[in-house]
Amino acid sequence: QKVAIVGPTGAGKTTMVKLLMRFYDVNSGAITLDGHNVKDFDRSALREGFGMVLQDTWLFQGTIMENIRYGRLDATDEEVIAAAKAACADHFIRT
């Protein structure tokens, strides 16, 4: 199942995602997924189930290839190129 959290600036989307992914924990109450407290999940395993697209973008020092590979350092060149194509970024990278 896929869920999108959308809303205007300042609505708390980023805060909600940070809480869901346990970048920090709540001071009171509980956040549950399918009835299970997120504190009961291993952080790494929990975060594997989420994808986050931030509004702010930046490039690290290095090539575009290195920037795309940043999320998975063991990715082959072919996998990085496939990722660029899947993101529809391949044309503007080549031109």
Number of domains in the chain: 2
| pLDDT for res 57 | 75
Does pLDDT of 9 surpass 90? Answer: no
Q: Is residue 25 exposed (0-12), middle (13-18) or buried (19+ Cβ within 10 Å)?
A: exposed
The residue range of the domain holding 35 is 1-54
Same domain, 36 and 7: yes
Residue 22's pLDDT band, with cuts at 50, 70 and 90, is very high
Same domain, 88 and 43: no
Q: Do 45 and 33 form a contact (C-beta atoms < 8 A)?
A: no
CA distance 22 to 54: 17
pTM: 0.54
Question: C-alpha distances in angstroms, 80 versus 13, 35, 93?
Answer: 29, 37, 12
User: What average pLDDT does range 81-94 have in this prediction?
Assistant: 91
| pLDDT for res 7 | 85
Does pLDDT of 73 surpass 90? Answer: yes
Query: What kind and span of H or E run contains 86?
Result: helix 77-86
